[in-house]
Amino acid sequence: MTDQDRPPSGPSGDEVKACCAAAYSSDVVTLLLGDSYHPGGTTLTRRLADGLDLGEGRRVLDVASGRGTTALLLADAYRAQVDGVDYSPANTALAQGAAQAAGLHERAVFTTGDAEELRYPDGMFDAVVCECALCTFPGKARAADEFARVLKPGGRLGITDVTADRGRLPPGLSGLAARIACIADARPLTEYAGILAAAGLRTVRTERHDQAMTRMIDQIEARLNLLRITAQAKLTEAGIDLNASPAVLAAARTAVAEGSLGYALLIAEKPR
């Protein structure tokens, strides 16, 4: 068993997946993170898509598609045929409703499923995208194997994700809550590339976007302060510790400044 496949200490892999799915289908999380749910927003998604050579009719899989922001952008702006898969049935329903409302339901279809057990045939997709989610997967190596399996030869994988030197993270940025926040089980960029290499995917491009992480921390802090005044009951109901949140955000901001926490873009290719 590799380190990437080793079950996380504490909660089981299924428990982690369920907690993440519940958190990311919460309306409060949407209020705090915005529509894209990840640093860099749609601007970084477009940069990622441009590196995948997307265009009309290209078949794309969006893994951990959430409420559909990335998938709908690819279907609309790039006219790709997009399948989105997410662990949360609530997110799947919301994403499909958004596709219907936008008139994109013929080019964007959403299903509920597990990134570590994708229910798609081998070699089905020209590209796979996964934004700010691999860091939360308990079985990263298994997910990478699945990415490689469903890609066509010559197909590309595009990832944007949290990076972390876990040995240097402060204690406040560990545990299940930090895992749901995409921090506790994030890996260095080189380790992500290694996980993909073990699955047969060759990294062809990497970029650091740490400033996007700092901007998101600032955004969360500002929105949290507003919600503290306007919707404190919702925050409490969602299990957000208002007393602990400022210290956690401060620790995250310091970790970015010190280089132990960041955000990155990675593109890998499956050999022909």
Please report, in tens digits, the pLDDT of each residue of the chain (272 residues total).
344 444 344 456 665 555 555 555 566 566 666 665 688 999 999 999 999 989 999 999 999 999 999 999 999 999 999 999 999 999 999 999 999 999 999 999 999 999 999 999 999 999 999 999 999 898 999 999 999 999 999 999 999 999 999 888 877 675 544 544 567 689 999 999 999 999 999 999 999 999 999 998 888 888 788 877 777 776 666 666 666 677 888 888 899 999 999 999 999 999 99
State how beta strands 261-269 and 151-164 pair: antiparallel
User: Which positions ≥6 away from 254 have C-beta within 8 Å?
Assistant: 170
- 0.75 exceeded by the pTM? yes
123: left (phi over 0), alpha (psi -120 to 50) or beta: left
C-alpha distances out from residue 234 to 16, 26, 132, 134, Å: 22, 10, 24, 28
Tell me, rounded to whole angstroms, the distance of Cα 208 from its chain centroid.
16
Q: In sequence order, what are the beta bridge partners of 108?
A: 82
Domains of the chain, first to last: 13-269 (3.40.50.150)
Q: What pLDDT score does 249 carry?
A: 84
Q: What pLDDT score does 5 carry?
A: 44
SS3 of 133-181: the string is CHHHCCCHHHHHHHHHHHEEEEEEEEEEEEEECHHHCCHHHCCHHHHHC
Closest CA relative to residue 118, chosen from 88, 152, 149, 164: 149
Query: What whole-number distance in Å separates Cα of residue 49 and Cα of residue 263?
Result: 17
Query: What whole-number distance in Å separates Cα of residue 29 and Cα of residue 34?
Result: 8
Q: What pLDDT score does 28 carry?
A: 58
